[in-house]
Structure 1
């Protein structure tokens, strides 16, 4: 018979020596590399569990001299972290079995029904189940960390009632509400009153289309009463056996104000450009015409004072226009815009 080469350390908590020897024989028949520890009471088992011995699985008799039943199973469970526990009993009590299994133990076996094959399969199943649960918990913690440690506000909400189910620390800081306050609120409580209908239409449209990703730009109201613009990204996820919506909110208030400022300055720059191309052109044309006359010497010398006066007038006119252009440029605060 081929034995399993899996290296295991098993603690058998059993006060009946005959039952212990039988369990030991079953284990040695199926496992090649196995270490077996034996304790006969809860107190002595507790010492072994808390020692530096590495225990992979526990076989627990449900009736010991110093403790028994549901209380025994609960006490062992409290002191074994994630070590799989298989309950062994001589009684067929289904109600008791259900209660004990609900505590988190791996399995419940009747002693008279145990044989090497059943015990082996139960141990392997318990180890795999514990490994699977450990993996799920690790994944859950990873996602929980991504949610809680995100620098952007995030929350979960019920799509039917719009109540907040959970929010991260960034949302608490940004919006000014505590976690307890958020859980008593709905999405309507962070929207201006004139935006409620827009919110309802957006939620309904998102639900009908089943679209995940960018949902749009919305106005949100902080606890302080200040309104901000936020880009909303959302997706549907399963949470506590129910489908809910996960939302990430990115504050784009400064970005939109910056864009608006640039657009306003672009309008002013166009006005300045028009001034340069049209208003400046008139006095400049007169100046160039007078210079051309002087160069040709085809004018009466008596006209020279008049022409010089016209040059001065045109020059002054251009000076006023240039000053106005400089003043308008300063109003744009171009340097301040570049530094933001």
Structure 2
């Protein structure tokens, strides 16, 4: 605040002393915008929460606080506010200690007059301002040059005008010092909204605000990707902002290459699995496309159940090869239209375990091998090969089991004609909570109500 029109707080519980000090202030011809008199420390601290003052005139003998701790209480609430102690206690040791604690002056009431008080007030305010400016400058240049590898610039929080920049900043953007100072910060990097995030009720924020990825334009027109850290400080009562920037262009390029590599790996994985599925279906023309249709039906169900896209990818892979174990079953058994013997049926029922043994060593990012083994398990424990039930079965196993049944029932087989979708859904519904998990059946019924043809897929 300007000392031309002062906002003064007087903390004094003696009405006579308060009146005398008030008269001295008037006689001293100080321009006072406001004089707030508080009789208790508590009321003074409350005032400091909501109002700003240029100086505090403080008595150390108050009803709710005595001695030097009164100064400490004030500084805990307003660390930079100048304090002039007014006391009736002529104690040199206490006076020295008060100044060490941060008081700007220590005056005896019985020696006080308007001129002395006026000089003390102006001296205290000016000295405090100089100390604040010194601290601000130290903070400013420490922040600028602590890490020379980072590009750093300083700008005014109100005008957004660049005031200073280090060598790394000039090299990062290709501008000279004068060119940078001529620019406004909004021309270089930050929006006014990002800057305003630093400012809260004129109180300096301790945190720094980060902008993880910002594109800056180099002087030659090329774009430079940087991460920015913003912090603020005060200098001569004005808010300044320090912007530290680090070039992340190479890191982003490496990340893009990594993502491209992972996508290539993912595509290779899916293509390999599809080849495995096609290898089986070449031996069994009646199930051509069966695994892919099961995989698609399973993803439709999982999407309805709110699964993440990442998890659904794994489910789809499991669906593509859920019958891979049938590759070891003779083709004449797979394609036979007549009744199978007990031995042949046992061989057919071994395919989930055989499939598990085939793919268990493949390092999928999902439990694909278990999906293959569990797709014939049933909610009530009546399935195979392990007789698992309820939560012992993976959610993926529950979904693949239902998807497998839906696709099989609506498809023609050598031993029976295709069922209608209506009959298929009725069968699934009748086994809710018995052979099939309730939540999976509910998702199927909801989907069928929305679209009766949703599970009818092309080969």
Check whether TM > 0.5: no
After TM superposition, the score normalised by the length of structure 2 is 0.31
After TM superposition, the score normalised by the length of structure 1 is 0.42
